[in-house]
Amino acid sequence: MNCTLVQVSDRQGDGFFLVGPEKSRHLRNHLKIGVGSRIVAGVLDGPLGWATVVGDDGDRLKITAPEGPVPPRPPVDLVLAMPRPKVMGRLWGALASIGIGHLYIIGAEEVEACYFSARTLEPQYRLPKLIEGLEQVRDTRLPEVTVEKSFRRFATGILPNLSPHGIRLLGHPGAGHSVRKVLASPACREGRVMLAVGPEGGWREKELDVLSFHGFVPASLHSRALRTDTAVISLLALIYDALPGDRH
């Protein structure tokens, strides 16, 4: 934990914030933080900066409001065909750490409908994972999350209404273009980037046609069909490497 995040609901009437009991124990017992200490803290989706510990009731630490700017929204959005629930559970923290502006979790022909009833999609499950990922990298910006189990509804009701992106990249094993070649395009340096990653077996032909119609450029790391979590993180790492330094 490289910073401590609090939420607006943790704000007290006097303008100070209370840190949760578990985080307070970690700060107190492992980092030797006490009254008068300065820590890096942030308000979820708000400012990030230095805060001072002004109180400790033995359960929760009390800190001043963090002094600093609100971090910029990450410049990359992700369309993800719902993976197996265990994989999704592992991905939340990693996606928050690497930086996602908006995450669209959608259905596809090769996605089991029962995946969408998994607890790993529930807000009370994902929020702690997302916060943990943000605290690792000193960020406060939660990914916006949209869940749509129908590929058709995503393609006809959501995708056409999204703001334009500088580039839309479609991850698909065996695609003609390499990811590095597509990311070398000047379009990658302008506007937002949207990445679409399908099921482990890849998108079906009709899904590829729809996504291509909406401007997604098919590209692959290589011919192998990777596990979803491996593919997502690898592709996102390449995208951020291709972005100008001031957009990381």
- Could you tell me the residue ranges of all domains in the chain? 4-63, 76-247
Residue 173: enclosing H or E segment and its boundaries?
none
CA 78 to chain centre: 8
What integer pLDDT is reported at residue 74 of this predicted model? 95
42-47: average pLDDT: 97
Neighbours of 229 (CB within 10 A): 19
Neighbours of 243 (CB within 10 A): 16
Tell me the pLDDT band of 248, cut-offs 50, 70 and 90: low
pLDDT digits (tens, 9 = 90+) for 165-205: 788 999 877 766 777 777 777 766 677 899 999 988 778 99
What integer pLDDT is reported at residue 187 of this predicted model? 66
Tell me the pLDDT band of 227, cut-offs 50, 70 and 90: confident
What integer pLDDT is reported at residue 152 of this predicted model? 95
What integer pLDDT is reported at residue 61 of this predicted model? 97
pLDDT digits (tens, 9 = 90+) for 68-102: 999 999 999 999 999 999 999 999 999 999 999 99
Q: How far apart are CA 204 and CA 214, in angstroms?
A: 16
Percent with pLDDT over 90 in the chain: 73
Question: Does the pLDDT at position 157 exceed 90?
Answer: yes
CATH class of 4-63: mainly beta
Which homologous superfamily is 76-247 in? SPOUT methyltransferase, trefoil knot domain (3.40.1280.10)
22, burial (CB in 10 Å: exposed 0-12, middle 13-18, buried 19+) = exposed
What integer pLDDT is reported at residue 175 of this predicted model? 65
User: Going by C-beta distance under 8 Å and a sequence separation of 6 or more, which residues neighbour residue 57?
Assistant: none
